[in-house]
Amino acid sequence: MITRFALALTIAGGGASQSNAQEDLARMMRAAELGSVLASEEICDLSYKQAAIEAWIDKNVPADDIMFASSLDTAVMGGKFGYRDQTTSERTAHCAAIKKTAKHYGFID
């Protein structure tokens, strides 16, 4: 949350740093999005194709993104923690969305 706030302040500053901050935010969001899908694998009773995960990373993560792995780890840990207390309806809706996304990216059939 603090990082997002810092990025928002940087973006508001404008100039060349604005495009760098926007790129940094986009990279963080990619890690958070994949992290949510990965954190949901067990709670949604799914089994992802490892090659598809690698292919997603190859396609979506720049080689110079040294922070992606740690951002992804944080997102996965946060997701697993947050999903523990979902109600049945929340879990149903969450897993329906995750299954749709996982299927789209070839993580599941």
For the chain, which residues make up each domain, given as ranges? 2-104
- Please list the pLDDT of the chain residue by residue as tens digits (109 residues): 445 555 454 445 555 567 788 887 888 899 999 999 999 999 999 999 999 999 999 999 999 999 999 999 999 999 999 999 999 999 999 999 999 999 999 999 9
Q: Are 61 and 30 in contact (CB under 8 A)?
A: yes
72 CB burial (10 A radius; 0-12, 13-18, 19+): buried
